[in-house]
Structure 1
Amino acid sequence: MRALLAGAAIGLVFQCAYAQEIDVAQADASAPPPAWSFLATGFWNMPRHEGSYGSGIFTADHGSLHLEARVNYEAIHAQSAFIGWSFSGGETVQYKITPIVGFVAGSAHGPIVGAEASLAISKFDYYIEAEYLPGTGSTTPYTYAWSELGYRPLPWLRLGLVAQRTRIYGGDREFQRGGLLQLTFGKVTGSVYWFNPASQDQVVIAAVSLAF
């Protein structure tokens, strides 16, 4: 799953009245977390020697419950849906692991099992998502994967490396590797991924995410 981004909801709260700053901070600290959090991400995929196309991922989280829907991820004209349960913890080293199970329909079809995981240490983070499609009928078995290693020198800037395994494009290339650049402004994050930069099979992906 492209996920972008095994760990991405962002909120900034600004208070203008200095006299009420302490009271407001205490109220925010004691307030319960939102019942649901959502993340919608749209991708524009641009393989160098193939046609460009759009894809999307939508997630909804309620406590440990994780719901996810994807379009054009396993294959073009395919739609998938998942349910999972998240386990997280840590202070200096923060982690989150979400096993997922679901199904895909459309141009690819069948049950899917997978996992999403993230690890963060100071300004560094790592994210990976992987899923296995056993295959039924005309759909052959396949393992999809997307991983990111990021560094955040500034709160709004993230740089890093990215790798993926997909059969939508890339020919005989089993793994695709490249770099990533992300800019975050409030609840909106813009991303650019550049795969296989030194080859003839270059792929550029532009993405926009909205957390709410």
Structure 2
Amino acid sequence: MALLAAGVLHAQTQGPPAGAAAGLDTAEPWNFSAAAYWNMPRQGQSYASGIFGADHRQLHLEARANYEAMHSQSAFIGWTFSGGEKIHLSATPIVGVVAGEAHGPIAGLEASVGVGRLDYYLEAEYLPAHAGRSGYLYAWSELAYRPVEWIRLGIAMQRTRIYGGDRDIRPGGLLQLTVRNCTAGVYWFNPGADSQVVMLSLAFRF
């Protein structure tokens, strides 16, 4: 399962927050984001997950709960590279550790491309083999369009094994509504299938 997951946090702007130059400046403010998700798999028990992020210029910090596996928590540090005006590009390599039911070192990438009202977001991370389980690549992507500034709709895909079952790649759709610094959204993966998953999200920036 992904953020996520993280796509909701970045949906409130044309791309993830990034610094203008390398290095840290204590005069620059921190930017924070928090998102909660209610996951409702048709073939399993509903559960909550969450993501918290902090950005200071190019430095990116992130913590996740119930993301790589149930009853697991992860923490990351990353560095954001971005540029462009008409076409905005951003990439944040991240490294971290996950503890709990899934555990071990982990590495990933968060990236986005924005062109006018159209944007694409990709999040991926690789968890090495542990406790007899093979290594696994988690992924979440969104391709979305804003007919007006406060509505974002499009298609999404996630690759995860948190739900169990035969499918580990789930396509679907998304709809998000933004009011000031708050974004509410709904995702519907595998529509109409026995393995469908509906996800409700609520994200804030402050």
Q: What's the TM-score, normalizing by structure 2?
A: 0.89
Give the whole-Å Cα distance in 1 for the aligned partners of 2:153 and 2:176: 6
Deviation, 1:140, is 3.2
2:177 and 2:183 in contact (8 A); partners too = yes
Residue 83 of structure 2 aligns with an amino acid whose one-letter code is G
Deviation string for 1:106-145 (max 9, x for gaps)? Answer: 0110000110000000100000000000122344311100
Give the whole-Å Cα distance in 2 for the aligned partners of 1:139 and 1:35: 42
Q: After superposition, where does 1:186-201 map in structure 2 within 5 Å?
A: 186-201=180-195
Q: Mind listing any 5+ residue stretches in structure 2 that lack a counterpart?
A: 14-26
SS of equivalent to 1:74: coil
Give the whole-Å Cα distance in 2 for the aligned partners of 1:144 and 1:61: 23
1:9 and 1:39 in contact (8 A); partners too = no
Deviation, 1:34, is 5.1
Residue 82 of structure 2 aligns with an amino acid whose one-letter code is S
1:184 equivalent among 160, 172, 178? 178
Deviation, 1:170, is 4.8
Give the whole-Å Cα distance in 1 for the aligned partners of 2:11 and 2:55: 12
Residue 87 of structure 1 aligns with an amino acid whose one-letter code is F
Give the whole-Å Cα distance in 2 for the aligned partners of 1:149 and 1:141: 27
Deviation string for 1:26-64 (max 9, x for gaps)? Answer: xxxxxxx95100110000000001000000000000000
In structure 1, what is the equivalent of residue 17 of structure 2? none
Deviation, 1:172, is 1.2
In structure 2, what is the equivalent of residue 132 of structure 1? 126
Give the whole-Å Cα distance in 2 for the aligned partners of 1:84 and 1:172: 33
From the CA coordinates, give the structure whose radius of gyration is larger.
1
In structure 1, what is the equivalent of residue 10 of structure 2? 7
| Corresponding pairs, count | 190
Is 1:55 paired with 2:56? no
Q: Mind listing any 5+ residue stretches in structure 1 that lack a counterpart?
A: 11-32
| Identity percentage of aligned residues | 57
Give the whole-Å Cα distance in 2 for the aligned partners of 1:170 and 1:187: 34
1:175 equivalent among 153, 169, 177? 169
Give the whole-Å Cα distance in 2 for the aligned partners of 1:81 and 1:75: 14
Give the whole-Å Cα distance in 2 for the aligned partners of 1:135 and 1:90: 38
Residue 7 of structure 1 aligns with an amino acid whose one-letter code is H
Would you identify which runs of 4 or more consecutive aligned residues in structure 1 move more than 3 Å? none
In structure 2, what is the equivalent of residue 143 of structure 1? 137
Give the whole-Å Cα distance in 2 for the aligned partners of 1:194 and 1:170: 17
Q: After superposition, where does 1:14-33 map in structure 2 within 5 Å?
A: none
Bigger drift between 138-147 and 43-52 goes to 138-147
2:35 and 2:204 in contact (8 A); partners too = yes
Deviation string for 1:176-209 (max 9, x for gaps)? Answer: 0000000000110001000000311110000000
In structure 2, what is the equivalent of residue 101 of structure 1? 95
Is 1:38 paired with 2:32? yes
In structure 1, what is the equivalent of residue 19 of structure 2? none
1:162 and 1:179 in contact (8 A); partners too = yes
